[in-house]
Amino acid sequence: MERGFAAGDRDSATVSRSRLEAATAEVRRVTATRAAETSLGIVRLWCGEEVPVNVPAGDLLPKASPAIDAKRLALLAPRDPKIAALAAAVNAADAQAAAERSARIPDLSVGVFADREYDKDTLGVSLGIEIPLWNRNNGPIAEAEAQQRKAAAELRRRHLEQQMALVAVVGDYDAARVQADALSTTVLPLAEGTLRLRSAGFGNGDSSLTDLLEARRALLATQTAALDARRRTAETLVRLGQVVGRYDLTTPPTSSTVPETTP
């Protein structure tokens, strides 16, 4: 534009608009660069190890998002470590309640004695019981049963929370995956083709600067949306792994990753 203005082929308004576009693009670039540096600092804190300075974040995101294996998800969900811990607490509470119930039976002592007096042998059996006659152990039994009900309720609550979270997160993952695939395979090529046509037309004088800038903005917006959809897909897959308790959710089940259940 500057060269065209110097040669008299462009007017000052066109040059000013081009300068405004360039200045706006530079502001966005600086803002995006600072945001990337902040995110990289957070990644270093998460990883706890040295991360390369220039991390190609776009290359780390999956190009194509695989579909979730519903059967594998249903198999892995009950093996969530939190659910396993709550199930163990329920078993411990059951055992404690059973122990307290058995403790209410009175302690009996049985003995055998023998005696010899002159020409007479005496053989007997003694039976003793502690006083008070019968301790029903009602207090400890009630406490153990309360702990048992509490542990069972916590387990049911965790199951319900997990199922609700799975429905929500799987829906978010599918929506982000479909959007990312559509943007990458359909919308982005169209935006790139439009910019090529507008650039060629502007060079030939068939397209205006407004048409060229609109095509450029449309391509940048599409690229941003496609990258954001890929990011949301990856983040949602991590959230899904947090709900289930493991992250190999898109891999077909194998004997090494999904152990057989023990009857």
The rounded mean pLDDT for the chain is 77
What are 24's strand-pairing partners? none
Q: What is the mean pLDDT of residues 242-260?
A: 56
**Structure tokens belonging to residue 226:** 């496609």
11-47: string of b/e by CB count within 10 Å (b at 16+)? eeebeeebeebeeeeeeeeeeeeeeeeeeeeeeeeee
| Under 8 Å between Cβ of 107 and 135 | no
Range with the lowest mean pLDDT among 20-29, 116-125, 238-247?
Answer: 116-125
Q: What is the pLDDT of residues 50-83, one digit of tens each?
A: 666 666 666 666 666 677 776 777 777 777 777 7
* CA atoms of 216 and 16, how far apart (whole Å): 18
Packing angle of the helix pair 81-103, 138-182 (nearest 10 deg): 170
Q: What is the mean pLDDT of residues 181-205?
A: 90
Whole-Å CA distances, 93 to 135, 218, 235: 22, 62, 38
Confidence of residue 262 (pLDDT cuts 50, 70, 90): very low
The per-residue DSSP string of 213-249 comes to HHHHHHHHHHHHHHHHHHHHHHHHHHHHHHHHT-S--
Give Dmax over CA atoms of the chain in angstroms.
147
Residues 6+ apart with CB under 8 A from 181: 64, 65
DSSP state of 252: P
pLDDT at residue 118, as a whole number: 64
pLDDT at residue 112, as a whole number: 67
pLDDT at residue 253, as a whole number: 40
* CA atoms of 86 and 151, how far apart (whole Å): 7
